[in-house]
C-alpha cells in the first residue's frame, strides 16, 4: 500500500482517541520510566500516554514515514521511529508496551506478542486494542461489495490484508506469556451525520486497501457509493436525522511477563 495520509486519519481523531483513553485507564502503573507506543500513527495516542505519565520517556514506532513526520512535528516530546513493527528491536526495555488499533495490520501476531513480551521489564504491562471490524455489519458489507463482479477482479482478495483473531485466540497466546490477563470488548456508538460520514470515517483505515486497488477515483467512488447504499439497512436513521454507528473493539492488558 502507499503511505498513510495523516490529515485524513485525524479528521476523526476524537473517535479514534477514545478507545486509547479507555485502554490507558486500565493500565495500573504509577510511574513507568519508559513507554513504547507500537503503531503510534500521527502521535495522538502517544500524546494521551504523555498526559497520563508526564515524567515517562516515550518512544513512538510506526511503519509510515508520513505518520512519524506528523508526530515529530505535532506530537509530544518523544523518540519517533519509522520502522517495520515486525522487525523493530529496541535495545532498551519498557515498563509499558502499548498498541492502539495496529495489530490488525500484522499477520504473524503470535510471533509479535512474543516479541512485545520480550520488550518489557520484569513488572511490565502489554496493553492493546484491536478493532473487531469484520464482526460488524460494515465490515461484512465491505467484504461483500469487494466480491461483487464489478470490483472483484481487483478487490476480491483484499480482506487477506487484515488479521483479526478471536478473543479466545488472544487469551491463549497471552496466558503462555503473562501471569495476569484482563480482556474486554466495547461497542462505541458514534453519532454520525449520515451514512456517507460512516464511509468517510473508515475510508482512511479499513476501506483504504480496497480503494487503493481500484483503477481510478471514479471507480473508488462507485465502490464507496455501493457500500453506503448497502449499510443503510444495518444502520437506521434516528429521529433527528443522524445515524448511530456502533464500532466493536477488543482490548487486553497483560501483566507480569513469564
Q: What pLDDT, in 10s, does the model give residues 86-103?
A: 999 999 999 999 999 999
What is the distance between the alpha carbons of residues 245 and 226, in angstroms, rounded to a whole number? 18
Predicted local confidence at residue 215, as pLDDT: 82
What is the distance between the alpha carbons of residues 39 and 60, in angstroms, rounded to a whole number? 7
Nearest residue to 125 (alpha-carbon basis) of 133, 138, 116? 116
Confidence of residue 206 (pLDDT cuts 50, 70, 90): confident
Residue 195 CA, chain-centre distance (Å), reads: 21
In a domain, 210, yes or no: yes
What is the distance between the alpha carbons of residues 159 and 142, in angstroms, rounded to a whole number? 9
In a domain, 182, yes or no: yes
Q: Is 154 exposed, middle or buried (0-12, 13-18, 19+ CB in 10 A)?
A: middle
Task: Give the chain's domain count.
Answer: 1
In a domain, 109, yes or no: yes
pTM for this predicted structure: 0.93
| pLDDT (average), residues 218-228 | 96
In 39-93 the beta strands, taken as DSSP E runs, fall at 57-62, 79-82
Confidence of residue 232 (pLDDT cuts 50, 70, 90): very high
In a domain, 1, yes or no: no
What is residue 100's three-state secondary structure?
A: strand
The pLDDT of residue 9 is above 70: no
In a domain, 24, yes or no: yes
Domain containing 243 equals 6-257
In a domain, 74, yes or no: yes
The pLDDT of residue 246 is above 60: yes
3-class secondary structure for 136-163?
CHHHHHHHHHHCCCCCHHHHCCHHHHCC
Give the least confident one: 79-88, 180-189, 198-207, 238-247: 198-207
CATH number at residue 73: 3.40.50.150
Confidence of residue 219 (pLDDT cuts 50, 70, 90): very high
The 10s digit of each residue's pLDDT in 140-162 is: 999 999 999 899 899 988 876 78
Predicted local confidence at residue 25, as pLDDT: 98
| pLDDT (average), residues 1-30 | 80
In a domain, 117, yes or no: yes
In a domain, 149, yes or no: yes
Amino acid at each position: 500500500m502507499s503511505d498513510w495520509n495523516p490529515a485524513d486519519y485525524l479528521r476523526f481523531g476524537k473517535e479514534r482517541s477514545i478507545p486509547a483513553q479507555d485502554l490507558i485507564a486500565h493500565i495500573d502503573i504509577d510511574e513507568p520510566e519508559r513507554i513504547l507506543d507500537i503503531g503510534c500513527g500521527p502521535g495522538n495516542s502517544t500524546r494521551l500516554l504523555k498526559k497520563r505519565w508526564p515524567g515517562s520517556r516515550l518512544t513512538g514506532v510506526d511503519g509510515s514515514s508520513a505518520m512519524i513526520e506528523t508526530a515529530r512535528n505535532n506530537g509530544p516530546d518523544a523518540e519517533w521511529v519509522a520502522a517495520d513493527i515486525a522487525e523493530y528491536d529496541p535495545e532498551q526495555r519498557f515498563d509499558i508496551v502499548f498498541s492502539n488499533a495496529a495489530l490488525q495490520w500484522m499477520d504473524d501476531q503470535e510471533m509479535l506478542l512474543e516479541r512485545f513480551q520480550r520488550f518489557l521489564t520484569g513488572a511490565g504491562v502489554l496493553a492493546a486494542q484491536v478493532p473487531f471490524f469484520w464482526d460488524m455489519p460494515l465490515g461484512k458489507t465491505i467484504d461483500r461489495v469487494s466480491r461483487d463482479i464489478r470490483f472483484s477482479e481487483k478487490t476480491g482478495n483484499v480482506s487477506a490484508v487484515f488479521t483479526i483473531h478471536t478473543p479466545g485466540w488472544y487469551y491463549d497466546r497471552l496466558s503462555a506469556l503473562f501471569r495476569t490477563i484482563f480482556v474486554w470488548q466495547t461497542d462505541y456508538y458514534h453519532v454520525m451525520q449520515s451514512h456517507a460520514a460512516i464511509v468517510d470515517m473508515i475510508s482512511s483505515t479499513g476501506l483504504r486497501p480496497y480503494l487503493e486497488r481500484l483503477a481510478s477515483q471514479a471507480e473508488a467512488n462507485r465502490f464507496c457509493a455501493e457500500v453506503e447504499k448497502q449499510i443503510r439497512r444495518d444502520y437506521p436513521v434516528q429521529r433527528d436525522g443522524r445515524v448511530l454507528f456502533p464500532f466493536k473493539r477488543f482490548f487486553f492488558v497483560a501483566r507480569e511477563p513469564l
